[in-house]
């Protein structure tokens, strides 16, 4: 399954890297049905920088989890890199997450027992890289996010901004298809927040596909497209002409 999926990764840049058709997600609480996502239709092309915005509870995180294959839709179809993933089983979804998705979380979500290098190595470990290969790459990535001098530190010994940079390095470790960020600056002060924005911007420049859930107008301004959710449905999409102007 995965092999076939990976074979399909040879795609055109103008073909969508990600496509959702009539995707719905409901939670069933007791007898009631809570529709969190309603008929989402979205398609994102490679290299795009998309911001998802909307009021609290509008379903942004749920949508992002769906994109990141952490959750499965109640109905509708989801194609990632041209292959349908809505029907895959847990093992295949895990493989896709590990190989094709890079997650950045609001609360960093580093593993506290592990030092910086080891944290960056985690996704590579599940992809079967050797210790040597993954360590080498982890050091390279840590240097890239400006933490080359603190390789052996534990997450608790770092500031929030530094932790988020480790998380970005970790998200990049398997060279993912898409980087997903759920309020990456939500827990940061404005100066470390803007550092993170700079890194994300840099990644975009390198041609990475980025999708970020945010309340931060800064991210919205930098992105190419803003998807506004309201009550589980796409309210409107704005294409940002002023991109790359900073």
Partner 1 sequence: MFLYRLKRTVKLGIKSLWMHRLRSTLTALGIIFGVSSVIAMLAIGEGASEDAQKKIAQLGSHNIIVKTQDPPEEKSATGQQQTLKEYGLTYSDAERFRSAIPNVQVIVPNRRIAQEAQYRTHRASIEVVGTVPWYPQISTLKVQYGRYISDTDLRYKKGVCVIDEKIVKALFAFDYPIGEDIKLGTDYYRVVGVAREKDDTPESSETSSSGASSQAGANVGTIYIPLTTAKDRFGETSVQMNSTSGMIMEKVELQEIIIKVNDLSQIIPTKQSVETLLKAFHKKNDYNITVPLELMKKQQDIQRIFTIVLGSIAAISLIVGGIGIMNIMLATVSERTREIGIRRALGAKKRDIIFQFLSETFILTAAGGILGIILGLGIPYLVQYYGNMPTVVKGSSLILAFGISSAVGIIFGLYPAYRAANMDPIESLRHE
Ligand X SMILES: Nc1ncnc2c1ncn2[C@@H]1O[C@H](COP(=O)(O)OP(=O)(O)OP(=O)(O)O)[C@@H](O)[C@H]1O
Residues 73, 41: Cα–Cα separation, whole Å: 13
Enter the tokens of residue 203.
């990644």
Maximum distance among all alpha carbons in the chain? 55
* Closer of 60 and 137 to ligand X (Cβ): 60
Angstrom distance (rounded) from CA 205 to CA 47:
9
Q: Does 95 bind Mg ion (CB under 5 A)?
A: no
Q: Which residue from 112, 114, 161 is spatially nearest to 135, judged by alpha carbons?
A: 114
| Closest CB to partner 1 among residues 31, 90 | 90
What one-character DSSP code corresponds to residue 236? E
Say whether residue 62 binds Mg ion (CB under 5 A): no
Q: Which stretch binds Mg ion (CB under 5 A): 56-64, 72-80, 81-89, 147-155?
A: 56-64
- Is residue 134 close enough to count as binding Mg ion by CB under 5 A? no
Residues written for the chain? 246
Q: Does 61 bind Mg ion (CB under 5 A)?
A: yes
At which residue do the structure tokens 């980025």 appear?
A: 210
- Give min distance, CB of 62 to Mg ion, in A: 8
Q: Which C-beta is closer to ligand X: that of 54 or that of 176?
A: 54
**Considering the rule CB under 8 A, would residue 98 count as an interface residue with partner 1?**
yes
Q: Which does 111 bind (CB under 5 to 8 A by kind): partner 1, ligand X, Mg ion, none?
A: partner 1
Contact positions with ligand X (CB under 6 A) in 29-88: 29, 34, 36, 54, 56-62
Q: What is the DSSP letter of 156?
A: G
With contact defined as beta carbons under 8 Å apart, do 140 and 158 qualify? no
Produce one character per residue of 215-228: b if its CB has 16 or more CB atoms within 10 Å, e if not. Answer: ebebbbebbbbbbb
Q: Which is nearer to ligand X, 27 or 111 (CB)?
A: 27
Interaction of residue 78 with partner 1, rule CB under 8 A: no
- Residue 125 in 3-state DSSP? helix
**Residues lying near Mg ion in the complex (CB under 5 A):** 61
Give contact residues for partner 1 (rule: CB under 8 A). Answer: 65, 68, 70-71, 90-91, 94-95, 97-99, 103, 105, 109-113, 122-123, 125-128, 130-131, 170, 174
């Amino acid at each position: 399954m995965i092999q076939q999926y990976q074979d399909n990764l040879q795609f055109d840049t103008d073909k969508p890297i990600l496509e959702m058709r009539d995707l719905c997600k409901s939670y069933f609480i007791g007898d009631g049905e809570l529709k969190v996502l309603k008929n989402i239709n979205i398609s994102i092309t490679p290299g795009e920088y998309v911001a998802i915005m909307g009021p609290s509870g509008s379903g942004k995180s749920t949508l992002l989890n769906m994109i990141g294959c952490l959750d499965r839709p109640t109905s509708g179809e989801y194609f990632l890199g041209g292959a349908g993933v809505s029907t895959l089983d847990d093992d295949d979804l895990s493989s896709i997450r590990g190989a094709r998705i890079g997650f950045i979380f609001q609360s960093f979500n580093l593993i506290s027992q592990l030092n910086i290098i080891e944290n960056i190595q985690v996704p590579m470990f599940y992809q079967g890289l050797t210790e040597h290969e993954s360590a080498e790459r982890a050091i390279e990535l840590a240097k890239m996010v400006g933490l080359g001098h603190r390789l052996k530190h534990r997450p608790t010994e770092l500031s929030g901004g530094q932790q988020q940079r480790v998380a970005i390095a970790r998200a990049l470790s398997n060279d993912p298809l898409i980087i997903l960020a759920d309020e990456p600056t939500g827990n940061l002060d404005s100066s470390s927040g803007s550092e993170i924005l700079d890194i994300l911007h840099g990644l975009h420049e390198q041609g990475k596909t980025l999708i970020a859930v945010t309340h931060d107008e800064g991210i919205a301004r930098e992105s190419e497209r803003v998807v506004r959710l309201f009550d589980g449905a796409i309210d409107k999409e704005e294409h940002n002409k002023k991109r790359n102007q900073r």
